[in-house]
Structures are given as structure tokens and as C-alpha cells.
Amino acid sequence: MSLLELRNVSKIYGELKALDRVSLHVDQGEWVAIMGPSGSGKSTMMNIIGCMDKPTSGEVLLDGVDISKESSKRLTDIRRDKIGLIFQQFHMVSYLTAVENVMVSQYYHSMPDEAEALEALGRVGLRERARHLPSQLSGGEQQRVCVARALINHPELILADEPTGNLDEANENIVLDLFAQLHREGTTLIVVTHDPEVADAAQRTIVLEHGKVAREVINENFGK
Amino acid sequence: MNKLPLPLVNLLRKPGRTLALALLIAFLALAVFGGSVVVLSLRGGLQSLEARLGADIILVPSEAQSKVSFQNMFLQGTTGAFYMDASVLDKALEVEGVEKAAPQTFLASLKADCCSIKIQVIGIDPALDFTVQPWISRSLSREMGDMDVAVGCKVEADVGETIRVYDQRCKVTARLEPTGTGLDTAVYCNMDTMNTLLRAAEEKGVSHRIESGDSVISAVYVKVRDGADIDAVNSCLNGHIRKVTAVRTRSMITGVSDSLAGISRTVTILIAAVWVLAIVILLLTFVLIIRERSREFAVLRLAGASRGMLSRMVLRESALCGLLGGVAGTGLAALLLFPFAQLIESALNLPYLMPETGTVLLLAVGTVLLSVGVAALSSVTAAYRLSRVDPGTALREGN
């Protein structure tokens, strides 16, 4: 069953076609990597799927709803309810502790629950670092807090933009293991990357070039 | 902790920024509350002075103008005395247009063994008096008996105590409400007591020019009949009674009133200048803060905050800062104004009567609410701008 479907999606900035009639679909529970060189349209696609931007034309169906036609307020609601976002930079609120950064997502979603937030931090191996400020955490730890924050509201879709781009190998493996665990639990994952190793961890890789889908690769070794 | 009051957390975790904003708002609150209390106190002082003088014209011996500055006696409570024949009262009542006339007799005590304190004693005729008696009646329900005195609020004597004036023992029967004028430093008695004191003073060799014992007075307070021309009555009094000068009270108060208007104007301009400056600084500060925090707001947007939620958060933060600064500024102003009221009064050299507690509380609450409102309003533009920022762009630009 398809969770996400893009139908002839284009995004045009002046003369530049960032996305050019892209069509693709992602099934519920699927783990998809999106690869491509710089300027291929990865970030644009991520912004559109993540309800942060709207396409110039085409349809984006998320859980059956065409989000390309939705208002900004509705897009915020959809993002809050259905999507967990992870970025390459560890975007944390500097004056909040690790657990409070996780609770921020609950705060805007439903109601902050510290016990649940601590549990999410435990899941990413940071239970003991819960009371630390971002400045007291390493890059890898900050990214794991972001993962905990992204999954705290049990989103249907985790959207990660270069999640391991700033991590060392050990932390990269920790994050990929977390993704694998989320995938086993049925969460849909879309990971934008240009690291082939990260792409290899996914079930399927979609390669973008010049704003178009150049090819799709099924990972035969997935799960082995 | 199952709550995350983000506005409060932000303020507490950024103490430097919070303190700077609160200080700015405190400065504004201090200016508004302090300035308003000073202006109200000056107005109150003038109103009280007008009410206490309560007469349209005052008759004094012509020599009073050269002997002492009688205006200072009436307005600032400096001690002094001058006398004229008590028949001036009857002569004044004969003049067309005079509705009421009441005598007062003055006696200054000495800073000597015979007197407890150096004060101005004012004798009144309770049956005729229409200026001081209503004020005395508020603190003393019965008539003043012989050798009873009512003291102004700044006289250092309590009810029940006895004060000595030229070795005569006078019992303090009432302590009067403050007027914010020189009248607060005087002691009031009836004419019989005054005559006793005058005789005692004479016996002590104090050089008062008392020629006919009981029949001297210092001033006659005249109330002009409604519709009568006060200037015309004043001229008539001057022409009708020899060796007496009739002075319009309005001309006595004009100087005070002009000074008060000048100070009020200056204080108002200062308050306005502080306001304009503070609001401009607040607007700029909030714009800078919001710019500095664009990445944080983008993260919160991505965490699910709507534009409205973020705007409300910013407004709450600034309102909390306003509350903190407003309370601090108002409190500081109160700490400076109330314990040092007498110092301010002496520095201004004008009638100065603090507003009543209820008015002060209302003013304080109003100032705090104003501080909260101004702080919140100053951040509205910034909050609106912030809410229009696309979170994805903000995060990329903030990288």
C-alpha cells in the first residue's frame, strides 16, 4: 500500500527546473534512499515531501491526501502528525536539554511526557545524557537526540536529509541501526544521501539527476 | 516534569538577554510610575493648598508685606507674626460682596526653654472659620477646648501629649491629615487659647506689638459672594479699611501653580522621551533577537509549531519580560519615592501631597499592565516577520 506518491511533480525557480515532472511512490513501511549529485533536486524533493514547500505543478499524495494543494497551516498539521524530520546539521534548540528537545515535538503534537521522552532517548542510547545541553553533547549524540525527537510522536514517515553526513563511522552505524530498527517496526523511511553505504542500507534507491528520476535500484542484499 | 513552558524556559535559560530586556522595561516603568506619582503629588499639593486657603481674599496688616514674607507663611509654613485690630473683621463684613469673613491670629513660638518646639501657632474662631475648621473637623469630632491644640502632621507631637508654648501647657487633641503644604507644620487652637498664649508671650518680653489685649488678629479670610467681582471686592476692601492690605489668594497661588505647571510639563516631556526611546530600543532589540533566533524558530516549526504558536510564544516571552521589568521598575520607583517623599518635597519647594494608597496601587497596576502591553506590542512586528519565515530556508541559511 502506497504511503507517498509523487505524480509529475515539478518545482521551478525562475529559469531553473529543480524538479522536472518527477513521479515515484513509496510504500508503507518501505525504506527508500534518494541519491544524486549536488543540484539534482534532492533537497527540493525533501522539502516538498516534508511539507516545507509546495511544487509548482503535479500532485503529492501523502497517505492519500494531495498535500500540494494544502494551506500552509494544514501542511504544518500534516508535518506535525505524520512526519519525523532529521537533518544533516543537528538542529537542536540550544537552551533546551536533550530530553526537552525531544519533548518539544510532543509539546506541539499533543502533550509533553517526560517519561516517554526519556524512553525515546534510551532507545538511541542517550538516557544518561538526557539533562545535557546540546553544547555538552558530541555531534553523534546530538544527531541521535534528533532521531529520538523525530520518532517520539510515532510518525508514519521518517524523512532524513543526509543524516550521517556529519558523523563518524561509529555514530553512522548507530544511526543506521536505529533506522533498521524503525523499519522493522513498520515505519516508512526516506533517506536523502549521497553516501552509497547509507543508500545500500535501504531497500530501494532512487537516483535523481538534473531534477529527474534517472534510475531506481533495488537492494538485493537488503536484510541479509 | 510533564510540562514544558517554552516561553518561561527560554527566559530562564537566557538570563543575560532576559535581564537586559527587563531592565529596559523597568526603566520605562520607573519613569512612568515615578513621574506620574510626582505629578499627582504636586497637583494634590496645589489642590490641598487651594482648599486650605479656601478664601478669595486675605486681609493682612499693610506692615506684613514689609515685615515678613506673608506669602511664605501661608504657603510654606515659615514662622512669623503680625497683628491688626480685630475690628477689621467687622469692617470687612460691611463691604458689599463679602459673603463670609473669618479671623486668624498667628504666633511664632521660640526655640528656647519656654517652648518645646519652634512652631507657628494659628488661632481660629471655630464658629466663623471656613478654611481650616472643616479640615480640623475630619480629625477632631468635638470642638477644641481651652488650651487644646490640633497639630499638623509634621509637628513632632502625638495626641495626648502636652507641648509648651511660652510656658503654657497645651494638650494635643488631634493630629491633622497631611495637606502637603506649610500648614502641616503649624499648630491650631481657638481664639481664647491664642489670647492666653499671646499674653504669655508678652510677659516673656517677646516683642509682639499687641496694643489692646484680646482684640488683635493677624489675618481675615474673606469669601466673596457668588457672582460678585472678586477684584472689585478686593479694591473695595483696600479702600474701605485703612492700614490693611487685601490680597487675592489666586495671585498668591499663581506662582506655585506656574512652578507646578512647569515641573509637570518637564516630567511629562521626560516620560514621553523615555517612552519613545524605550519603545524604539525595544523594537530594535526584538528584531535583532528574532533574527538571532531564526534557526531556533525554524527547528520549532519543523517540530510542529504553527506560525500562530510561535507568534504566541514570542508574545508570551515579551509579556513575561514586560511583567518582570514592570514590577521591578514600579517597585524601584516606590522605594525611591515613598521613603524620600519629604526630601523630594524640600527639593521641589512646592506643595507636595502623595496620592492616596488606592490611587497609588491603581497607578502601579496600570504601569505594570502598560509595561506588559508595550513589551508585547514591541515584539508583534518581529513575531509576524518570524512567522513568515520558511523553516527549510531558515535552517539552510542558518547552517
Q: What is the pLDDT along chain A (224 residues), one digit of tens a residue?
A: 789 999 999 999 888 889 999 999 999 999 999 999 888 898 889 989 998 888 999 999 998 889 988 888 888 888 888 999 888 887 888 889 999 999 988 888 888 888 989 999 998 888 999 999 999 999 889 988 998 998 888 889 999 988 888 788 888 888 888 899 889 989 999 999 888 888 999 999 999 999 999 999 898 877 76
User: What was the pLDDT predicted at B397?
Assistant: 58
B392: pLDDT strictly greater than 80? no
Tell me whether residues A108 and B309 touch, CB distance under 8 A. Answer: yes
pLDDT value, residue A22: 93
A112 closest CB neighbour out of B4, B10, B392:
B4
Which of A80, A89, A113 shows the shortest C-beta gap to B2? A113
pLDDT, position A202: 93
Is A109–B306 a contact, with Cβ atoms under 8 angstroms apart? no
The percent of residues above 90 in pLDDT, for chain B, comes to 19
What pLDDT, in 10s, does the model give residues B346-366?
787 777 888 889 999 999 999
CB-based contact, B313 to chain A, within 8 Å = no
Would you call B392 an interface residue with chain A, using a CB distance cutoff of 8 Å? yes
- The Cα B181–Cα B76 span in angstroms is 6
Q: Check whether B35 has a pLDDT greater than 60.
A: yes
Indicate yes or no: CB of A47 within 8 angstroms of CB of B304.
no
**Residue B242 sits at the chain A interface (C-beta within 8 Å):** no
Contacts of A91 in chain B (CB under 8 A): 295, 298-299, 302, 395
B100/A contact by beta carbon, under 8 A = no
Provide the b/e sequence for B79-104 (b: ≥16 CB within 10 Å): bbbbbbbbebbebbeebebbebbbbb
Using the Cβ of B305 and the Cβ atoms of chain A, whether some distance falls under 8 Å is answered with: yes
Rounded mean pLDDT of B21-32?
89
CB-based contact, B16 to chain A, within 8 Å:
no
Of these ranges, A88-102, B34-48, B280-294, the one predicted with the greatest mean pLDDT is A88-102
pLDDT of res. B334: 93
pLDDT of B209 above 60: no
Q: What domains can you pick out in chain A, each with its CATH number?
A: 27-55+70-218 (3.40.50.300)
Q: Does B17 touch chain A (CB under 8 A)?
A: no
3-state secondary structure string, chain B? CCCCCHHHHHHHHCHHHHHHHHHHHHHHHHHHHHHHHHHHHHHHHHHHHHHHHCCCEEEEECCHHHHCCHHHHHHHCCCCCCCEECHHHHHHHHCCCEEEEEEEEEEECCCCCCCCCCCEEEEECCCCCCCCHHHHHHHCCCCCCCCEEEECCCCCCCCCCEEEECCEEEEEEEECCCCCCHHHHEEEEEHHHHHHHHHHHHHCCCCCCCCCHHHEECEEEEEECCCCCHHHHHHHHHHHCCCEEEEEHHHHHHHHHHHHHHHHHHHHHHHHHHHHHHHHHHHHHHHHHHHHCHHHHHHHHHCCCCHHHHHHHHHHHHHHHHHHHHHHHHHHHHHHHCCCHHHHHHHHCCCCCCCCHHHHHHHHHHHHHHHHHHHHHHHHHHHHHHHHCCHHHHHHHHC
> Chain B contacts of A77, Cβ < 8 Å?
306
Q: Give yes or no for residue B211 having a pLDDT over 60.
A: no
Verify whether the Cβ–Cβ distance B14 to A95 is below 8 Å.
yes
pLDDT at B207 over 60: no
pLDDT band per the 50, 70, 90 thresholds, residue B275: confident
Between A and B, how many residue pairs show a Cβ–Cβ distance under 8 A?
75
User: What is the reported pTM?
Assistant: 0.69
Determine the residue of chain A that is closest to B304 in CA distance.
A80
The predicted pLDDT at position B399 comes to 44
pLDDT, mean of residues B281-298: 81
Residues of A with CB under 8 A from a CB of B: 43, 47, 50, 52-53, 72-73, 76-77, 79-80, 85, 87, 89, 91-96, 100, 103-109, 111-114, 149, 153
Chain B environment of A96 (Cβ under 8 Å): 9, 13
Residues from chain B contacting residue A84 (CB–CB below 8 Å)? none
Q: Is the Cβ pair B303, A95 closer than 8 Å?
A: no
Is the confidence at residue B1, as pLDDT, over 50?
A: no
Mean pLDDT, range B206-228, rounded to an integer: 76
